[in-house]
Amino acid sequence: MRHYSLNAPAKINLYLEIIGARADGYHELAMILQSINLADQIDLHAANTQTIRVFCDHPQVPTDESNLAHRAAVLMASNFPTAFSNFGGVDITVKKRIPVAAGLAGGSTNAAAVLVGIDLLWGLGLTQSQLEELGAKLGSDVPFCIGGGTAIATGRGEQLSPLPSLNNMYLVLAKYKSLAVSTPWAYQTYREQFGAEYIKNHQDFTQRTKAVHAAEIVQAIAVQDVEVISHKLHNDLEKVVLPAYPQVLQLRELFAKQPEVLGTMMSGSGPSVFAIVESKQDAETVKEKITVAINDSDLELFVTQTIGHGIQLETRH
């Protein structure tokens, strides 16, 4: 029986700007995405039938057709019916380490791992660009999760421009287990409150996107200047999420008060909040301080760091 295990890293946003509304209903975005070494493990086993099944060790993760990993396998089967017919279905086991509903692309990175894994299982020989094109049909974060590292993402998030890898920047990540923020709600609320400020035409979209490529945070990433990166963090969605979710605001404010913290921000649509520090020791110190200050078993805290890759093969049998 053929089997692949893949490492599927989470991602954070170092920058998220909402530029305007697109004709397809999505938002025109400019983001800087960054992989971190907090990761799920995805095991793929070739099945003897034409079925696709998902298993997961986390009770909040659905294992039916709504799971993005399942949808990724169905997409591969529909795009490569001959391979699906020849090789059969697949059993997908998700060993969940990334917090659920956290704004860390947990579902997207699982789907990315399935695309990569099935490409290997079926011997398709797809390029990264081809896998990213397939991933864009599943969700805006999936293309980035395939290659990972550090990248500017534009359009609705699927158009990627790689940046020099930002490796070994230490982070403390915090998320309340029981707290979830709806991404559609966050964007819709932002549209309602700030839509009058949107850039209106495509030419101006292009100009604004070019400006992001030359932004100070991009220049700081190029030279690995962690202090400047930390000071230039930006997330438009904080404007609507923080007022509506006081626990997220409290986390952010508490991180900001720690002398070891260089910068802090909510990731994506939240509710995860991360803090950048200089060293692993500082990260452990901040983690301990937050644990003592909040003292809530519902709060998860992780020490992690930035990495220069996305989906990676762990084992092959």
Question: 60-69, 70-79, 147-156, 230-239 — which is least confidently predicted?
Answer: 60-69
| Residues 130-144: tens digit of each pLDDT | 999 999 999 989 999
Give every CB contact of residue 73 below 8 A, 6+ residues apart in sequence.
52, 89, 90, 92, 114, 118
Taking the C-alpha atoms of residue 123 and residue 129, their distance in angstroms, rounded to an integer, is 16
3-class DSSP assignment, residue 81: helix
Mean pLDDT of 19-25: 84
- Annotated binding-site residue numbers for ATP: 99-109
Is pLDDT above 60 for 291? yes
Is 175 annotated in the active site?
no
Dist. CA 151–CA 34, nearest whole Å: 7
Q: Give the mean pLDDT of the chain.
A: 93
Orientation of helix 106-121 relative to helix 128-136, angle to 10°:
130
pLDDT tier at 295, thresholds 50, 70, 90: very high
List the Cα angle 158/113/128 in 5-degree steps.
55
Amino acid found at 166:
L
Does the domain spanning 3-165 belong to CATH 3.30.230.10?
Answer: yes
* Residue 202 predicted with pLDDT over 80: no
**pLDDT value for 315:** 63
Q: What percent of the chain has pLDDT over 70?
A: 99
What angle separates helix 280-294 from helix 246-257, to the nearest 10 degrees?
130
Q: What is the pLDDT of residue 316?
A: 57
Q: What is the Cα–Cα distance from 172 to 36, expressed in whole angstroms?
A: 11
Q: What is the residue extent of each domain of the chain?
A: 3-165, 169-306
- The Cβ of residue 162 has, within 10 Å, a number of other Cβ atoms equal to 12
Per-residue pLDDT, 152: 96
Rg (CA), the chain: 19
CA distance 193 to 190: 5
Confidence of residue 248 (pLDDT cuts 50, 70, 90): very high
Distance CA 229, CA 268 (A): 17
Contacts of 293 (CB under 8 A, 6+ apart): 254
Of 40, 119, 141, 236, the catalytic one is: 141
Which stretch of DSSP H or E encloses residue 37? strand 27-46
Q: Which spans in the chain are helix H?
A: 68-79, 81-87, 106-121, 128-136, 142-147, 183-194, 202-213, 216-222, 226-231, 238-244, 246-257, 280-294
Say which residues have a Cβ less than 8 Å from residue 51's Cβ, sequence separation at least 6.
89
**Was domain 169-306 assigned CATH 3.30.70.890?**
yes
pLDDT score of 60 = 84
11 is catalytic: yes
Residue 281 has pLDDT above 90, yes or no: yes
Q: Of the given ranges (12-26, 70-84, 170-184, 266-280), which has the lowest mean pLDDT?
A: 12-26
- Range of weakest confidence among 16-25, 66-75, 263-272: 16-25
Residue tagged active-site, from 11, 232, 287, 289: 11
Band of residue 190 on the pLDDT scale cut at 50, 70, 90? very high
pLDDT of residue 50: 87
